[in-house]
Structure 1
Amino acid sequence: MPLYKTIVPNSQTTVKIWKITESFEALMQPLSLKPTTLERVLSMKSEWHQRGFLSVRHLLAAFGYEDADLFYDVYGKPHLKDGKQISITHSFNFSAVIISDATVGIDIEKQRDKIAVIAHKFIDYEFDYLDENATDYIKKLTTIWCVKESLYKLFATPGLSFKSCFMVIPFASSDVETVAWIDYKNEKHRYNIHFLEFEGFTCAYAIK
């Protein structure tokens, strides 16, 4: 499957989304992987995880990068050797990469009912405007999770609590962006977060 979607939020930022329909072998065949990358992908027990991991390397190629251009710091945050900012995500049969001159974060999640079971773990303030009986309840929960995860990746500060440090302002299901805040060490940081839905998935991305 070629690229599923390309989004250009501004002149310094591009988002690319891949729909994973290829087999593990088809994804592996054209790639040139570093020995450490190859060892990592072969050690993965889930083929879905392997295919998601490899699809990200195809997205890198779509940006003009190779696996050798990507590295991770001690916290697991990805970086590019040319200094551009990058964030990576994959969920089931979709993956996405955002690259920018600015600090960024991105997340994709499948919309599943089970998120309601763990909502109390990542939501506090947002319960004030959510309606558990609404038809869009699961979609909104998924969007809130994606917004907070994208901000967590952008802020890159271990130990941040999704429940107490992040606040997502009310939004409608028809919206494509919302405002979110990070409250950390008595400082508040405001962000405009964009999000979209496709084929039962939600994607959110944050740009500093």
Structure 2
Amino acid sequence: MPFYKDYSDKNATILYWKYSEEDHFDAEELIEPENLEKAKDYHPKKLIEHLMVRKLLKMVLPDRKILYKTAGEPYLWPPAAQISITHSFPFAALAISKNRVGIDLEKVSDKILRIKKKFLHPNEIAWTEGQENEVELITIIWVIKESLYKVHLSKYWSLKDYYEVYPFDVNNIGEVKCRVFDDFFNHEFTAKVTKVEDFYFAIVEETRDLNDV
């Protein structure tokens, strides 16, 4: 484990790991029996990502396992806390919280320009398009929206129509304001964003009961 960061706070344990060729895993030991047959067909890098997440879980909650709902959302069993996972080789991260939590990471690449109009709100296009650092700006927007999707109860499918990230300075991105909304509600959040090598990593935590809003 040559690169390891702890982004934990008072509500959540959030751990981040970079893979090294020195790392060795036992898939049968780490992968849940319910997921093992499927995992055997994974691409080697994808399998490593999953193994890193399970190794992180064993460090915090060794008696728990990760299962998946029909829609693919991960959850702990037996129930102990809320979780969120994200991975993009060679990185993987795990969040465990008493509240709903969403994390996501993405490598900076100009390929994201090809799909930007599929997930950018018109307000976001207005302040990002044509900027010198446009690729970084919209990569940050992407990881924030992916994290929001994981944490918000609505699970709206359209990141373009129902999720918005407010303008921010790419050189000062510690906290970024964002929201999930429709014609009947507006839920405001603050995302924590950091850059690790050429990846951006976002954390969104629920701080209130959305059902009471």
**What TM-score, normalized by structure 1, do the two folds share?**
0.89
When residues 179 and 128 of structure 1 are mapped into structure 2, their CA distance, relative to the original with a 3 A threshold, is same
3-state secondary structure, aligned to 1:36: helix
Q: What amino acid sits opposite 2:35 in the alignment? A: T
CA offset at residue 133 of structure 1? 3.7
When residues 129 and 63 of structure 1 are mapped into structure 2, their CA distance, relative to the original with a 3 A threshold, is same
- How far apart, in 1, do the equivalents of 2:65 and 2:91 lie? 22
Residues 16, 92 of structure 2: 8 Å contact kept: yes
Matched, 1:47 2:44: yes
Q: What does 1:57-206 correspond to in 2, within 5 Å?
A: 57-66=54-63, 68-80=64-76, 81-124=78-121, 125-134=123-132, 136-173=133-170, 174-184=172-182, 186-206=184-204
Residues 14, 96 of structure 2: 8 Å contact kept: yes
3-state secondary structure, aligned to 1:153: helix
Share of identical aligned residues, percent? Answer: 32
Residues 193, 201 of structure 2: 8 Å contact kept: yes
Deviation string, structure 1 residues 117-170 (Cα, Å, up to 9, x no partner)? 111110022112114241x22111110000000000112544421001001011
RMSD across aligned C-alpha pairs, in angstroms? 2.0
CA offset at residue 92 of structure 1? 1.9
5+ residue gaps, structure 1, are: none
Matched, 1:5 2:5: yes
3-state secondary structure, aligned to 2:7: strand
Residues 87, 99 of structure 1: 8 Å contact kept: yes
Aligned residue in 1 for 2:32 = 34
3-state secondary structure, aligned to 2:40: helix
3-state secondary structure, aligned to 2:29: coil
CA offset at residue 23 of structure 1? 7.2
Deviation string, structure 1 residues 24-43 (Cα, Å, up to 9, x no partner)? 8x222683433222212102
When residues 129 and 27 of structure 1 are mapped into structure 2, their CA distance, relative to the original with a 3 A threshold, is same
5+ residue gaps, structure 2, are: 207-213
When residues 102 and 33 of structure 1 are mapped into structure 2, their CA distance, relative to the original with a 3 A threshold, is same
3-state secondary structure, aligned to 1:172: coil
3-state secondary structure, aligned to 1:121: helix
Matched, 1:19 2:8: no
